[in-house]
Amino acid sequence: MRYRQTFIPTLREDPTEAEVISHKLLLRAGMMRQVARGVYDFLPLGLRVVRKVENIVREEMNRAGAQEILMPAVCPAELWQESGRWDVYGRELLRIKDRHDRDFCFGPTHEEVVTDIVRREVRSYRDLPLNLYQIQTKFRDEVRPRFGLMRGREFIMKDAYSFHTDLEDCQREYRNMYDAYRRIFDRCGLTYRPVEADTGAIGGSLSHEFQVLADSGEDALVSCDSCDYAANVEKAELVPPAAPLATHGAALTPVETPDQRTIEEVSIFLGEPPERFVKTLLYETDTGAVVAALVRGDHELSEPKLKNLLGCQWVALAAEETVHKATGAPTGFAGPLQIEARLISDQTLRGATGLVCGANERDTHLTGLDIARDLPSLQFADLRRAAVGDTCPRCERGRFTAHRGIEVGQTFYLGTKYSQAMNATYLDASGAQRPMEMGCYGIGITRTVAAAIEQHHDDAGIVWPKPLAPADLHIVPVNWNDATTRKAAEDIYAELQQTGTDVLFDDREERPGVKFKDADLLGVPLRATIGGKSLARGVIELKVRADGAMTEVPADRAVEAIQNALSNSEAT
Ligand code: ATP
Ligand code: MG
């Protein structure tokens, strides 16, 4: 690949619209451009990286026995109406009409379309299992598209769907996909963790997110410091405390707390530590219910846990008006006694005494709350978000540590949700008709590209993991106008091309400084610098992008030395 013939519009300055490093560097390295909010062009080098990820994914999916298909990007509304998602998917679904005024959507995911294929063609248990996947452009009209490829509106996803006769076989395939995902992200050269994920109302532990670890990640994770349990903080299971909070043995007493609303404010005002407080959080749900969720003052509520417990589509903090109706007081003074809402408490509060809570009255709190005495019929559940130092639910020995992650993939057991709604059945060996069990497995191809940069960059630019780099080697002839340099560089380039090495050959008449800067920015793992002075000494210089290590190698054995360096793990 000759630089002059390749469209690489690099930028000297940081583009102002970019908030995260991957977005900045992809724009600066001339690998992509924005067309509309969350919608991008991929330019030649950027597309090469996208293709590298796709190929790794494709090879491993095929190896795992899945079969590639291609479904339409534009999907008829009828299928989405059958599954019921046309009405519940909300505004992320880009809805469009054709010239006959018929409804379509631009697919954000393809459960409906693939289930339709399978229900029409598969009749018998003999035709199962089946795992079909595609690599395709998706559209999700995200409320806040941001961070470049990390959260776009249009993006490329690999989505696979598997169909089975029974749960056992579905679990076997789930494992198979889980293993394939590990191979994929290992091969991409990324540091990641598979974490247990929120499974929505279905429950169970059959969902994992594959999280690339990076400080800029949107997801908060915890992992055990002594076993391999890891989970999203919202989902991580928590064990109930060994003993409830020690008692003060006090009676319920109203205290004046003028204008002190938050736990921090009241805590300072009353001189009680936050863990002695009960936070009463009022939520509204899609079914119109009002729920008061109680958590300890120093804990955070996990909304997904609450949502799953209630079995509803969504929960949202109640509006001021609803709070007033349920408590008779403004926001900031809600408490569990005499509240008009369903009460649910986090398990940590079971049996606790001597607590402080809101009094459902302006400028007033109650001290001396005894959960068992004052709220005898309270329901308890695991409702709080995990935090650093919490005990691991698996080994019950280790403690949680925290990480930030970028979700690059997710595996999911779907059960018969779609097959039942859309009548995807098969005849079992005894001739009975049964719904198929399903799993689905997604990988964000373009998000993986961004995640690789978030994890692998330095001040000078991108430092591609070797398997994803747009080229294996970047050749920089220092002075293009020097005939000896040019000839030596051209010879090496020609010979490497014959061996199938992917080379970016900087044949521009630019100043050396400009070429080196661009090379660092583009992040190709190995650079070969060919200069007149070193040639005169019979050597060229190799530099590893990742650690800056430089070596001189004999010019007449350059190709061999380059090939050795490329197969050497230091360049990865
Ligand atoms: P998120 O929670 O980040 O919104 P999701 O859980 O809704 O993602 P899935 O439905 O699991 O996403 O989609 C599979 C994969 O597609 C995700 O793991 C992610 O890598 C990718 N993906 C999802 N939404 C986007 C997006 N807006 N931009 C880029 N990639 C995305
Ligand atoms: Mg997901």
Residue 337 pLDDT > 50: yes
pLDDT of residue 572: 46
C-alpha 409 to ligand 2 mean position (Å): 7
Tokens in use for 36? Answer: 């509309």
Q: Is residue 208 within 6 Å of ligand 1 at its C-beta?
A: no
Give the separation between CA 572 and CA 569, rounded to whole angstroms: 5
Tokens in use for 97? Answer: 């009409």
C-alpha 76 to ligand 1 mean position (Å): 22
Give the separation between CA 259 and CA 269, rounded to whole angstroms: 10
Contact 71, 109 (CB under 8 A): no
The 3-state secondary structure of 6-75 reads: CCCCCCCCCCCCCCCHHHHHHHHCCCEEEEECCEEEECHHHHHHHHHHHHHHHHHHHHCCCEECCCCCEE
**What does the longest C-alpha to C-alpha distance in the chain come to?**
94
Contact 171, 164 (CB under 8 A): no
Q: Is residue 142 within 6 Å of ligand 1 at its C-beta?
A: yes
Q: Is residue 157 within 6 Å of ligand 1 at its C-beta?
A: yes
Span 122-163, pLDDT tens digits: 999 999 999 999 999 999 999 989 899 999 999 999 999 999
Contact 373, 266 (CB under 8 A): no
pLDDT of residue 246: 67
Q: What is the mean pLDDT of residues 449-467?
A: 97
| Beta-carbon contacts of residue 413 (< 8 Å; ≥ 6 apart) | 170, 171, 174, 199, 202, 204, 206, 207, 439
pLDDT of residue 90: 87
CA-to-CA separations, 285 to 19, 313, 330, in angstroms, rounded: 33, 8, 20
Interstrand relation of 67-68 and 74-76 (parallel, antiparallel or unpaired)? unpaired
Q: Is residue 442 within 6 Å of ligand 1 at its C-beta?
A: yes
Q: Ligand 1: which of 407, 413, 445, 454 to mutate, most ligand atoms within 8 Å of CB?
A: 407
Contact 343, 306 (CB under 8 A): no
Span 347-366, pLDDT tens digits: 999 999 999 999 999 999 99
Span 237-296, pLDDT tens digits: 999 988 877 666 789 999 999 999 899 999 999 999 999 999 999 999 999 999 999 999
- Among all bound ligands, the one having the nearest atom to the CA of 107 is 1
Residue 477, preceding peptide bond in cis (omega within 30° of 0) = no
- Encode 404-430: b = buried (16+ Cβ within 10 Å), e = exposed: bbbbbbbbbbbbbbbbebbebbbeeee
Residue 513 pLDDT > 70: yes
Sequential DSSP letters for 73-120: SEEEHHHHHHHTHHHHSGGGSEEEE-TT--EEEE-S--HHHHHHHHHH
Span 180-214, pLDDT tens digits: 999 999 999 999 999 988 766 544 558 999 999 99
Tokens in use for 168? Answer: 């056992």
Q: In the chain, pLDDT over 90 holds for what percent of residues?
A: 90
| Beta-carbon contacts of residue 567 (< 8 Å; ≥ 6 apart) | none
Q: Is residue 477 within 6 Å of ligand 1 at its C-beta?
A: no
Q: Is residue 304 within 6 Å of ligand 1 at its C-beta?
A: no
pLDDT of residue 571: 43
Which residue owns the Cα nearest ligand 1 atom 29?
Answer: 151
Q: Which ligand 1 atom sits nearest the alpha carbon of residue 444? A: 20
Q: Which ligand 1 atom sits nearest the alpha carbon of residue 442? A: 14
Tally Cβ neighbours within 10 Å of residue 18.
Answer: 18
Q: Ligand 1: which of 133, 447, 449, 454 to mutate, most ligand atoms within 8 Å of CB?
A: 447
Tokens in use for 392? Answer: 């691991």
Q: Cα-flanking dihedrals φ and ψ of residue 192, to 5°? A: -145, 170
C-alpha 197 to ligand 2 mean position (Å): 8
Residue 561 pLDDT > 70: yes
Confidence class of residue 568 from pLDDT cuts 50, 70 and 90?
Answer: confident
Which residue owns the Cα nearest ligand 1 atom 8?
Answer: 407
Q: In the chain, pLDDT over 70 holds for what percent of residues?
A: 97
Give the separation between CA 74 and CA 96, rounded to whole angstroms: 9
Which residue owns the Cα nearest ligand 1 atom 31?
Answer: 444
Which residue owns the Cα nearest ligand 1 atom 24?
Answer: 151
Confidence class of residue 313 from pLDDT cuts 50, 70 and 90?
Answer: confident
Span 380-393, pLDDT tens digits: 999 999 999 999 99
Q: What is the mean pLDDT of residues 49-73?
A: 98
Which residue owns the Cα nearest ligand 1 atom 16?
Answer: 444
pLDDT of residue 126: 97
pLDDT of residue 241: 86
Residue 511 pLDDT > 50: yes
Which residue owns the Cα nearest ligand 1 atom 18?
Answer: 409
Confidence class of residue 319 from pLDDT cuts 50, 70 and 90?
Answer: very high
| Beta-carbon contacts of residue 377 (< 8 Å; ≥ 6 apart) | none
Of 370, 441, 56, the residue nearest 210 (C-alpha): 441
Which residue owns the Cα nearest ligand 1 atom 1?
Answer: 407
pTM comes to 0.88
C-alpha 186 to ligand 2 mean position (Å): 19
Q: Is residue 409 within 6 Å of ligand 1 at its C-beta?
A: yes
Confidence class of residue 569 from pLDDT cuts 50, 70 and 90?
Answer: low
Helices 445-455 and 21-28 pack at an angle, to 10 degrees, of 100
Q: Which ligand 1 atom sits nearest the alpha carbon of residue 159? A: 14
C-alpha 407 to ligand 2 mean position (Å): 7
C-alpha 142 to ligand 1 mean position (Å): 10
User: How many residues would you count in the chain?
Assistant: 572
